[in-house]
Amino acid sequence: MGDVRLRGQTGVPAERRGSYPFIDFRLLNNTTHSGEIGTKKKVKRLLSFQRYFHASRLLRGIIPQAPLHLLDEDYLGQARHMLSKVGMWDFDIFLFDRLTNGNSLVTLLCHLFNTHGLIHHFKLDMVTLHRFLVMVQEDYHSQNPYHNAVHAADVTQAMNCFLKEPKLASFLTPLDIMLGLLAAAAHDVDHPGVNQPFLIKTNHHLASLYQNMSVLENHHWRSTIGMLRESRLLAHLPKEMTQDMEQQLGSLILATDINRQNEFLTRLKAHLHNEDLRLEDVQDRHFMLQIALKCADICNPCRIWEMSKQWSERVCEEFYRQGDLEQKFELEISPLCNQQKDSIPSIQIGFMTYIVEPLFREWARFTGNSALSENMLSHLSHNKAQWKSLLPTQHRSSGGGSGGPDHAGQGTENSEQTGTKGDAP
């Protein structure tokens, strides 16, 4: 188990469950000046223990099952009622997570796979599907304020709403829908609660493995492939089909890298300007799935204020925790991670202005200003005004914000406040 990668028949590297250990900051102690996190032997020992711990649970069959059957009937009834309105934009994922006893992601995906007819179409085994979804949910870190399974469920619910947009829905195949939902559910799996620059400057093994390029996104993708293979959810499908699905999942998850925001926005603007999107074409359809996932990943500012505010506080708490660690170990504090200098209102205004608004205005153009798009832009405008009213007095005259596009981009990437991989509600 010395290698964090598995190579299956498709040749696409996958990672074992649990290959991304919790960041053990004791390894940083007394090594920050040398630029190394302990010795390679220490790191290898830590990784081996983490992998052994997860593997031993699997070998003993101790895979946590969603305890829905243990819930009070009243809670079950409320959860079922909420699922009947899962396509509504005001869906309260926090309440749903409480009603399902912390199993919002598993419960939501099982429901959506059923209602979209994916279980029947792909002849999926329900027990195997449930096992796979539990694996995904369990591999999110519940101690993360933001990048946890509830965020994944929220992104999945948003993705489901976007897949139903009339301009897109009529062209989607069952494969498109399943890939979109799976990518949304797993797009941040095993997220450590710190951003890519942190992993790079602390010489984390994943930064080396992926050569400092889309480090987190590559890890989320390869981890997802590992779980798909381990669960054998798709083992009954033709080899060529599963190869294609793994590659498309990677393309979708990698698109959430905030550092590629301008790349995708520029392409979308060009397509809309030239009116050359042909959704009958698989490549154009896949591109719009990438855009939909990017929107779902950073849609928190477009939710109703009560939910949007809670997401904003969560993502900033995660930023501040990283900043505290950086300060503790005498590392340069990353943009937006200094609680003494970076206020939640200023972070959110910058995020909305430079990341969210440009993308969602183009999405609205694509949908033909659908009712949902108009609703989201209305919430976005209202929420931005709310944050402006909460700005410290000295910042209001200058308009607040986080210092311009470059600074906003860095911050976004931070906790993926950019799109959750950077995601900033």
Q: Is 149 annotated as a binding residue?
A: yes
| Catalytic residue flag (residue 121) | no
278, two tokens: 């042909």
Q: Give the distance from CA 298 to its chain's centroid.
A: 9
pTM of the model: 0.83
Q: Is 69 annotated as a binding residue?
A: no
First to last CA, the chain: 38
CB-CB contact of 248 with 286 (8 Å): yes
Question: What average pLDDT is seen over the chain?
Answer: 84
pLDDT for 366 equals: 98
Q: Give the count of domains, the chain.
A: 1
Q: Is 423 annotated as a binding residue?
A: no
pLDDT for 53 equals: 45
Residue 68, pLDDT above cutoff 50: no
- pLDDT digits over 373-399, tens only? 999 999 999 999 999 999 976 555 555
Residue from 33, 93, 114 nearest 331 by CA: 33
Residue 299, pLDDT above cutoff 90: yes
Q: Is 183 annotated as a binding residue?
A: no
Q: Is 153 annotated as a binding residue?
A: no
Residue from 145, 423, 399, 147 nearest 301 by CA: 423
pLDDT confidence band for 11 (50 / 70 / 90): low
- pLDDT digits over 88-142, tens only? 999 999 999 999 999 999 999 999 999 999 999 999 999 999 999 999 999 999 9
Helix (H) or strand (E) holding 416: strand 416-417
- Answer whether residue 275 is part of any domain: yes
- Answer whether residue 27 is part of any domain: no
Residue 7, pLDDT above cutoff 50: no
Assign residue 416 a region: left if phi > 0, alpha if psi is -120 to 50, beta otherwise?
left
Say which of 130, 147, 204, 219 is annotated catalytic.
147
- Would you say the C-alpha torsion 154, 254, 327, 22 has a positive or negative sign? positive
Beta pairing class for 416-417 and 5-7: unpaired
pLDDT for 393 equals: 67
pLDDT for 78 equals: 92
- Answer whether residue 410 is part of any domain: no
Q: Is 72 annotated as a binding residue?
A: no
- Answer whether residue 169 is part of any domain: yes
pLDDT for 17 equals: 53
Q: Is 348 annotated as a binding residue?
A: yes
Average pLDDT over residues 348-360: 98
- Answer whether residue 22 is part of any domain: no
- Answer whether residue 353 is part of any domain: yes
Residue at token pair 């941040």: 188
- Answer whether residue 195 is part of any domain: yes
What is the CATH number for 298? 1.10.1300.10
Pairwise pLDDT comparison (230 vs 30), residue with the higher score: 230
CA–CA separation, 416 vs 195, rounded Å? 7
CA atoms within a 13 Å half-sphere pointing along the CA-CB vector of 284: 14
CA–CA separation, 224 vs 248, rounded Å? 12
- Whole-angstrom CA distances from 229 to 131, 226, 272 are 12, 5, 38
- pLDDT digits over 175-195, tens only? 999 999 999 999 999 999 999
- Answer whether residue 18 is part of any domain: no
pLDDT for 38 equals: 43
pLDDT confidence band for 422 (50 / 70 / 90): very low
What DSSP string describes 2-32?
Answer: --SEEE-TT--EEE-TT-S----GGGGTTTT
Residue 364, pLDDT above cutoff 50: yes
Average pLDDT over residues 224-228: 98
Task: Write out the residue range of the structural domain in which residue 329 sits.
Answer: 71-390
Q: Is 81 annotated as a binding residue?
A: no
